[in-house]
Chains A and B, each alone.
Chain A
């Protein structure tokens, strides 16, 4: 069974204090690893898809990287508007469902 573990569960950052979120996964054959952002009571908002080890993608202050066992979401010089829960999910070959981790709850303090 596909498994995703995210750490830390919760993180408080000062504005401008860079940090990284971890997503460890086990999957039978990785088709893709996905990062989403979710605000309270809202639907997950797509951020990135990573397909193979060594791949990196960037968007504004966020950068996602992928190895064969884990993915990192680096937040550089965060702002209060980056406060959200970040969800990691994996999709296996032959299987369209996403298996989600429980998320990293990030609070950025001004």
Chain B
């Protein structure tokens, strides 16, 4: 158990809908990262937050957004869903800032299926 929790475990929804994925980092970790894993693309970085502020963006679609709250949990919002958004979504957390070496620990993931 990495200490990172994600809910829900599974999510099934229809095209055009909006969903929210939730992540709680390990105790004491200030950085939260979101990754998408699909069969053909592998694990792709979406976005990073550090202590409530956005720090880095990857190939995140404009239909997707995220935030980190004062209690450090994070939410990833996916809207106007398309079939191609079906994937595993992982949250990871780490202790460090951009100037320190740190390991990212991953949660169990949310499997999103768009029908």
Contact = CB atoms under 8 A, between A and B. Distances in A.
Interface in A93-110: 94-103
Contacts of A94: 98
Interface string B16-56: 00000000000000010101000000111100100000011
B90 to A, nearest CB: 6
B34 to A, nearest CB: 10
Contacts of A95: 56
A96 B105 contact: no
B103 to A, nearest CB: 6
A87 B55 contact: no
Interface in A26-52: 31-32, 34, 36, 41-46, 49, 51
B42 A51 contact: no
A95 to B, nearest CB: 7
A43 B108 contact: yes
A100 B105 contact: no
B98 A49 contact: no
Given A34-B103, A51-B101, A97 B109 contact: no
Contact of B90 (A44, A49, A89, A99): A44
A107 to B, nearest CB: 18
A42 B108 contact: yes
17 contacts: A31-B101, A42-B108, A42-B109, A43-B4, A43-B107, A44-B43, A46-B104, A51-B101, A94-B98, A96-B94, A97-B48, A97-B58, A98-B35, A98-B92, A99-B45, A101-B42, A102-B42
A42 to B, nearest CB: 6
Given A41-B111, A43-B90, A49 B43 contact: no
A4 to B, nearest CB: 9
Nearest to B31: A96
Given A46-B2, A96-B56, A96-B98, A103 B48 contact: no
